């Protein structure tokens, strides 16, 4: 992320130079949702950066009880950027949460945990930097309707790109017939790709707020797109995900459309993932590089991958953090759930990109998605990988065949583990397998996280009948 502010003193100079009217303090909850508290710039002073700003932490799920609700968020001046969407000039500042009861950074603050993980990496002597490059895919729709009642549940989404509109009569326009169709949207030109100008606007705004972009394209599904953002350190990369999602949703919104990072909004078409590229460095050298090894992987990289794959079933509680996540992780839609690694092979859960050299060799974890809290997801992946390095865990593989065509019996015969098929399965794995997280995440945090996910995702989901259940069970 491009840095506009060097320190606290420069922050106030920057505000004056840009005639800032409001300061927007933003922080991230357990879900990964951004929240904000605005201040008139005249009311903001240096002491707020040094001592923090009080707020009510009991209003956020999984955080504080009502009788111990006071917390403080600590603004980080160097993270500031100008909000491109407000009518009055507003500067956004990332914040971490401070626990006044224990006099330390809050154990349930995702961004603080990300910083704690980086400190652990350095203190361990294993490495001094970890780089993450997430690829967040998204959908853009023209309309969405949702009903969730006692006697009625339905959703309906629409995009002009949807093949279901082939026979639609448009009141003030006409039906062009140019559509990507199911699984047909990868890299088509206009007019099939209807979102070229919309994505270009997103790119311009992302660059304006300091993110460096590269590839910009239509993805496989109808109404699906992706914008490549340059990698960064663990905290930088997670910060960038928050900015990226904000910009994509706002640009769509201001153009009369709606963007979503939901993994599987369309039945029968590809879903949206958050592929995460990773590498660990020490003294300026990429520890993942090993000349002559499979795909130029070092022993360090192979063991790191081994750790991620060994713990993947519990890591998924953070990287695939919704019930909808597991509707994406089924064969046939380029979303791998088979826990092995391979070079160039997109059917493996971990892919080594083609042509990786000394500076660029890395591992791409292909199973995560954007319902993940990016700070927690990256921490879980890093800690699982470091556990693999520490214990020299060998991964299953490499496997260079098309894993999507394997039957369940063949997968079992090959001794390959799979990701859980539900969020409940991932959370239950997290309950059993969490020791690798302990250097960074407390028992209290892990317990609070899994309880929160059961209460907000698993139990409500399991209690609701679906349209398909009526279709298959009503006449029983």
Asked whether the bond before 98 is cis by omega within 30 degrees of 0, the reply is no
Of the candidates 10, 35, 217, 346, the residue annotated as catalytic is 346
Distant-in-sequence, close-in-space partners of 438: CB < 8 Å, separation ≥ 6? none
Q: Helix 110-124 vs helix 374-391: angle between axes, to the nearest 10 degrees?
A: 20
Q: What is the DSSP string of 58-105?
A: GGSTTS--GGG-EEEEEE-GGG-EE-SS-SS-EEEEEEEEEETTTTEE
CB distance 57 to 29 below 8 Å: no
For the question of residue 76 being annotated catalytic, the response is no
Q: No. of H helices and E strands in the chain?
A: 14, 19
Strand partners, 217: 226
Cα–Cα distance measured from residue 143 to residue 257, given in angstroms and rounded to the nearest whole number: 7
For the question of residue 366 being annotated catalytic, the response is yes
Cα–Cα distance measured from residue 74 to residue 182, given in angstroms and rounded to the nearest whole number: 46
Return the C-alpha torsion angle 434, 437, 440, 442, nearest 10. 0
What are phi and psi for residue 279, nearest 5 degrees? -155, 155
201 alpha-carbon distance from chain centroid: 22
Which class for 216: exposed (0-12), middle (13-18), buried (19 or more C-beta within 10 A)?
middle
Of the candidates 26, 179, 199, 275, the residue annotated as catalytic is 275
CB distance 383 to 314 below 8 Å: no
Of the candidates 83, 137, 239, 334, the residue annotated as catalytic is 137
Strand partners, 27: 35
Alpha carbons within 13 angstroms on the beta-carbon side of residue 141 total 13
For the question of residue 236 being annotated catalytic, the response is no
Tokens coding 440: 């960074």
Distant-in-sequence, close-in-space partners of 181: CB < 8 Å, separation ≥ 6? 163, 222
Of the candidates 29, 83, 96, 226, the residue annotated as catalytic is 226
Pairing of strands 213-218, 350-352: unpaired
For the question of residue 334 being annotated catalytic, the response is no
Nearest in space to 206 (alpha carbons), one of 226, 186, 185 = 226
Residue 5 host element (H or E): none
Return the C-alpha torsion angle 366, 369, 373, 375, nearest 10. 20
Of the candidates 76, 96, 160, 364, the residue annotated as catalytic is 364
Distant-in-sequence, close-in-space partners of 446: CB < 8 Å, separation ≥ 6? 430, 434, 437
For the question of residue 56 being annotated catalytic, the response is yes
Return the C-alpha torsion angle 235, 430, 125, 127, nearest 10. -50
For the question of residue 277 being annotated catalytic, the response is no
Which residue carries 């992320």 as its tokens? 1
Of the candidates 366, 369, 387, 424, the residue annotated as catalytic is 366
Of the candidates 83, 219, 239, 387, the residue annotated as catalytic is 219
Which active-site residues does the annotation give?
56, 135, 137, 219, 226, 275, 346, 364, 366
């Amino acid at each position: 992320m491009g840095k506009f502010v060097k320190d606290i003193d420069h922050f106030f100079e920057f505000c004056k130079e840009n005639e800032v009217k409001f300061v927007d303090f933003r922080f991230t909850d357990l879900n990964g949702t951004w929240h904000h508290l605005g201040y008139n710039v005249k009311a903001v002073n240096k002491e707020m950066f040094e001592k923090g700003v009080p707020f009510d932490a009991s209003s956020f799920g999984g955080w504080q009880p009502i009788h111990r609700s006071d917390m403080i968020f600590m603004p980080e001046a160097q993270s500031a950027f100008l909000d491109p969407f407000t009518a009055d000039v507003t500067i956004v500042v990332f914040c971490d949460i401070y626990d006044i009861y224990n006099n330390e950074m809050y154990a349930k603050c995702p961004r603080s945990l990300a910083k704690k993980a980086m400190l652990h990496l350095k203190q361990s002597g294993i490495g001094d930097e970890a780089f993450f490059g997430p690829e967040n895919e998204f959908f853009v729709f023209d309309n969405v309707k949702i009903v969730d009642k006692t006697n009625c549940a339905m959703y309906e989404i629409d995009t002009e790109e949807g093949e279901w509109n082939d026979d639609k009569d448009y009141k003030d326009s006409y039906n062009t017939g140019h559509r990507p169709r199911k699984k047909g949207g990868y890299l088509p030109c206009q007019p099939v790709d209807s979102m070229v100008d919309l994505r270009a606007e997103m790119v311009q705004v992302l660059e304006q707020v300091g993110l460096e972009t590269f590839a910009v394209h239509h993805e496989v599904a109808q109404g699906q797109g992706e914008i490549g953002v340059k990698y960064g350190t663990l905290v930088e990369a997670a910060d960038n995900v928050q900015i990226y999602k904000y910009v994509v949703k706002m640009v769509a919104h201001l153009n009369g459309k709606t963007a979503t990072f939901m993994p599987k909004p369309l039945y029968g078409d590809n879903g949206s993932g958050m592929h995460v590229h990773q590498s660990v460095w020490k003294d300026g050298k990429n520890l993942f590089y090993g000349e002559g090894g499979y795909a130029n992987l070092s022993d360090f990289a192979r063991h790191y991958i081994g750790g991620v794959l060994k713990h993947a079933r519990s890591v998924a509680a953070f990287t695939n953090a919704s019930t909808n996540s597991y509707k994406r992780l089924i064969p046939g839609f380029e979303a791998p759930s088979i826990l092995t690694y391979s070079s160039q092979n997109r059917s493996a859960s971990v892919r080594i990109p083609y042509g990786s050299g000394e500076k660029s060799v890395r591992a791409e974890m292909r199973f995560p998605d954007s319902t993940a809290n990016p700070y927690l997801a990256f921490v879980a992946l890093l800690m699982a990988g470091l556990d693999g390095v520490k214990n020299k865990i060998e991964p299953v593989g490499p496997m260079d065949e098309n894993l999507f065509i394997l039957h369940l019996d063949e997968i079992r015969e090959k001794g390959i583990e799979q990701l859980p098929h539900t969020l409940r399965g991932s959370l239950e794995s997290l309950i059993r397998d969490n020791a690798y997280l302990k250097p960074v995440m407390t028992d209290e945090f892990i317990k609070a996280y899994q309880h929160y996910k059961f209460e907000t995702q698993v139990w409500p989901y399991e209690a609701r009948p679906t349209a398909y259940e009526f279709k298959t069970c009503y006449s029983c």
